[in-house]
Amino acid sequence: MIKVEGLTKYYGDFLAVDGISFEVNKGEIVGLLGPNGAGKTTTLRILTGYLLPSSGSVKIKDYDIYKDLRDIKKIIGYLPETTPLYNEMLVYDYLWFVADSKEIEEGKRLSELKRVAEICQIKNVMHKPVIELSKGYKQRVGLAAALLGDPDILILDEPTSGLDPNQIVEIREIIKEIGKEKTVLFSTHILSEAEATCDRLVIIHKGKIVADGKTEELKKGGDQFMVNIEIENTDEEMALSELKKVKGVENVELKGKNGTLKLELSGKTDFRKNLYLHIKSKDWVLLEMARASETLEEIFKKLTRE
């Protein structure tokens, strides 16, 4: 659906997007993740035809960003970082205006407005002026505008930015619902949101892609092999010093003690067998051993470190 190759964007001398390549397949919800200034908005603005790249290629379906901008704009619904809503307009009039600018036939506009109002749950505010809406509702109106014309692809720039936790959940649910039928690419800083909503994550830092994969794969791809264990009634000092001797274990951290010891062990290789044999040789009672993975936060921090 979306194929980006070697995409580069300079603002003057400043390199904002540095030769990135990625694909978004039909029906996927992909999160573009990265810290402030990583190049997310720039990338999304290029994909939606609002900014020209310095070099590289972008194909949306079979359309080329350099030649087929008009067609591309028709198959993409775009929610920019700041939705260009007109405060004094009624929601209904605003959506009518957007439908008109998207060249949706007049006879079909009303049913199209009803359709997007249903999806975004804004039927109750259709006759209110935009200025009276809460931020969450404004964002829903922006989403509804992006959905007008039933585009195959939705590109959303930080759709939940500035919303309260309840509004975030509501918008996330709408995105998930939309994602059942459409291809969605959206940017966010919020890791939990990306994790909860996306099939796949592309992490970008200083204009470069530093990771691309399914959330679970990214977690597994963290360079630490981690195991949590719980052992019974063992002396803490001795347990720590003994466990550090296990081949492959680089770090041992005490996570809790309450009659038992809970410990997290990490290293670069799979040390579970060595660990088990060592515990057995000490005759400790092993209550639990479970493979752990780095949290997305930890991986994100590592990947986007200065």
**Which parts of this chain interact with ligand ATP (CB under 6 A)?**
11, 14, 16, 34, 36-42
Residue with Cβ nearer ligand ATP (39 or 142): 39
Residue with Cβ nearer ligand ATP (40 or 200): 40
Residue with Cβ nearer ligand ATP (11 or 66): 11
Residue with Cβ nearer ligand ATP (14 or 67): 14
CB 239 within 8 A of CB 263: yes
Minimum separation from the CB atom of position 30 to ligand ATP (A) = 15
Residue with Cβ nearer ligand ATP (36 or 111): 36
The Cα 148–Cα 116 span in angstroms is 7
Amino acid at 134: S
Q: Which helix (H) or strand (E) holds 75?
A: helix 69-75
Measured CA distances, 51 to 48, 86, 113 (Å): 8, 23, 28
The Cα 264–Cα 254 span in angstroms is 6
Residue with Cβ nearer ligand ATP (39 or 149): 39
Residue with Cβ nearer ligand ATP (30 or 148): 30
CB 242 within 8 A of CB 248: no
Minimum separation from the CB atom of position 10 to ligand ATP (A) = 9
Minimum separation from the CB atom of position 292 to ligand ATP (A) = 30
CA-based diameter of the chain, in Å? Answer: 80
Contacts of 247 (CB under 8 A, 6+ apart): 271, 274
Minimum separation from the CB atom of position 232 to ligand ATP (A) = 48
Q: What does DSSP say about strands 200-205 and 29-33: parallel, antiparallel, or unpaired?
A: parallel
Measured CA distances, 219 to 26, 101, 302 (Å): 24, 43, 12
Minimum separation from the CB atom of position 58 to ligand ATP (A) = 15
Minimum separation from the CB atom of position 137 to ligand ATP (A) = 22
Nearest to 251 by CA among 262, 267, 240: 267
Q: How many CB atoms lie within 10 A of CB 256?
A: 10
Q: How many CB atoms lie within 10 A of CB 306?
A: 5
Minimum separation from the CB atom of position 9 to ligand ATP (A) = 8
Residue with Cβ nearer ligand ATP (35 or 248): 35
Minimum separation from the CB atom of position 125 to ligand ATP (A) = 27
CB 40 within 8 A of CB 108: no
